[in-house]
Amino acid sequence: MRNIAIRLAYDGSSYHGWQTQAGLPTVQQTLERAVEKTVQHPVHVTGCGRTDAGVHALAYCANFRTDCAIPIDRIPLALNSRLPADIAVQAAVEARSSFNAIGSCMQKEYIYKIHNSRIRDPFLDCRACFWPAPLHADVMNAAAAAFVGRHDFAAVRSVGTETKTTVRTVKWCRAERDGDTITVTVCADGFLYNMVRAIVGTLVYASDGKLSPRDIPALLERGDRRLTGPTMPPQGLYMHRVWYDGDVGNMME
């Protein structure tokens, strides 16, 4: 049985997230249908993580097992011919039998885009968070630095998914402005439910003067979700990079 890993990208605007849900369109369900039509047998596609409704992926990894003999370089073309235009398989590789897209993942990076302008851009409506009030990227970046390191991130976690621990290691967190776009980048060894969107909301609070970047270590220590910033809308969030060892890691570059 072959273990096929694929790299894909998707616009999540029309989907209720990655994970299959009864009666709702999801990326996983749509992808599994395309894979099953291609390999001619039932499959389960394992994704590298959950993304919520309206969230996008610029680089996402998934794997499935099959006994079909389709050459590996033909798999992206075969799948894309059966996928809608808002999901694209970009590459495929044969992974070792023990590979699992979520269990083998070393770290992930998300970005969050804010369109910070007084005038709405209709072409960014589903791809960035529109925020007309002025934001100060330098203050946001100072606040972002306070999240770097190994902490208990319960203060920026929404209730909704059970987890053994709320401790994670953030490798980097920064906010940068390019014209009217502010991009927040967060890389960690794992993420809690709505963690990135809550971090970004806390950076916005810091920009607004509702808290100081110096307050954030104490807020993390207290672990009270009510004291940090709001959970930002989903459309600004993108899975950006995913790290693995070996051939799968090379495919994801």
* Active site residue ranges: 52
Backbone CA torsion sign across 150, 154, 158, 159:
positive
The CA distances from residue 205 to 83, 184, 249, in Å, are 40, 14, 36
* CA 77 to chain CA mean position, Å: 24
DSSP state letters, 126-158:
TTSEE--S---HHHHHHHHHTT-EEEE-GGG--
d(CA 108, CA 187): 6
- Dmax over CA atoms of the chain, in Å, equals 59
Length of the chain: 253
First-residue to last-residue Cα distance in the chain: 26
**How would you class 74 by CB atoms within 10 Å of its CB: exposed for 0-12, middle for 13-18, buried for 19 or more?**
exposed
Nearest CA-CA partner of 213 in 223, 199, 234, 226? 199
